Amino acid sequence: MLKTLIKATKLAVAVTALTSLTTLTVTAAHAAPAGPAAANWPTKPLRFVVPYPAGGPLDTVARAIGEKLREELGQPVVVENKPGAGGNLGADFVAKQPADGYTILMGAVATHAINPTLFTKMPYDPIRDFAPVTLVADVPNVLVMHPGKAAELHINNVRDLVTYARSHPGKLDYASGGNGSAGHLSGELFKSMAHVSMVHIPYNGASPAQLSVLSGQTDLIFDNLASASANIKAGKLKAFAVTTQARAAAFPELPTIAEAGKGLGLEGFDISTWFGVFAPANTPREIVDRLNRDIVAILKTEDMKARLARIGAQPAPTTPEQFAALIRRELKKYGEVVKVSGAKVD
C-alpha cells in the first residue's frame, strides 16, 4: 500500500510539472515575438500609418520622422495614409496588425481621446489595443476674435470676453470646424469652466470656420495656431490667448487662457491638438524602447524642431509611460467635455 501511495504521489508531481511546463510553453508561444526576434529587429521595412489624408500636419511630420528613422534603423519606413471616420479607420488598421514592430501609427488626440466618446461605436479600444511609444508634438489652439467686433464690444482680453459673455448670455457666437472638432470642444470647455453662454456655429471644416470670423459672420473661434498665425500678424484676427498650459514659442507674448483667466474659473484650462506614435498592443518592450529612443532623439534635433515650428507645433517627446498617462487623462477630460456638449457622431 505504501509503495503504491509513493508511486501515485510521484506520478502526480510529474503530471503537475508537465502541466506547468506546457502552460509556460503555450504562454511563450503567444507572446510576440520571442526574445531573439526582438533583438534582431528590424529585418524588413516598417509601415508608418497616418490615419488622415496626405499633406496634413500629421502626414508631414510622419514623413519627416520616417526619413530620419530609416537612417537609424537601417530599413525603409513607408508612410501609408489611411484616412476615414475621423481617423478611426487607420487607427483600427494598426490595432489589428501583428505586434512585431513593423506597423506603427501616428495617432492623435482625436483617435485616442476624443473619438472614443464622440462615436457611438468604436472599432478599437484606445488603451487596450495599443502600446504608446512617445508623444511627438503639441499644436496649440488660439482664441481669436474679429477685431471690429472686439472694438465694438470693448473686448480686449479674456477677462473682458468673460465679463461681456456673462452680462450678455447667448449674444456671442463661436465658429468651429464641426461638431466634435477641437475648436468645438475648446469652446464647450471654455463655456463650462467660465460659466458663460455662447452659441456654437459649426462649419464643414476649419477653413470655412475661420473665414466666417474674418468676414464678420461669427464673433470668435478657437482656431489652430498654425492656420491663424498669418491673419493674427496681419491684424485681421485679434488674438487673446492660447489654449495650452504653456505659451506658444511662435507667439510668446500671448498668455495662456489659464493665465489670462485667473479668478474666472479658467485656471486649469488646457486643450491642444497633440499627436504621437503608437504600436499594436503586446509589441515587445525592447522594440517599443528602441522606437522611443530613436524618435525622441529625432525630435530633439534642430532640423526637426524647425520643421515642427513651420506648422506651429512644439516637440513634446515623452517616455511610453508618460504618454500612456497623458492618454488616460485626456480620455477622461474629453469624455466630460463631449458629455457636456452633447456632441455625437454616428
What is the rounded distance in angstroms from the CA atom of residue 140 to the CA atom of residue 324? 20
What is the rounded distance in angstroms from the CA atom of residue 50 to the CA atom of residue 75? 19
What is the rounded distance in angstroms from the CA atom of residue 250 to the CA atom of residue 133? 27
User: 42-138+272-341, what's its fold?
Assistant: D-Maltodextrin-Binding Protein; domain 2 (3.40.190)
* Whole-prediction pTM: 0.80
Extract the C-alpha cell encoding 294.
530613436
Give the mean pLDDT per block of 10 residues along the chain (346 residues): 38 40 35 62 97 89 96 97 93 98 96 92 97 94 95 97 97 92 91 95 90 96 89 96 90 96 95 94 98 98 92 91 97 89 75
| Domain spans in the chain, listed from the N-terminal domain onward | 42-138+272-341, 140-260
pLDDT score recorded for residue 34: 46
CATH, domain range 140-260: 3.40.190.10
Domains 42-138+272-341 and 140-260 equal at CATH topology level: yes
pLDDT score recorded for residue 35: 62
Contacts (Cβ under 8 Å, ≥6 apart) of 20: none
Opening angle at CA 104, ends 102 and 110, nearest 5: 165
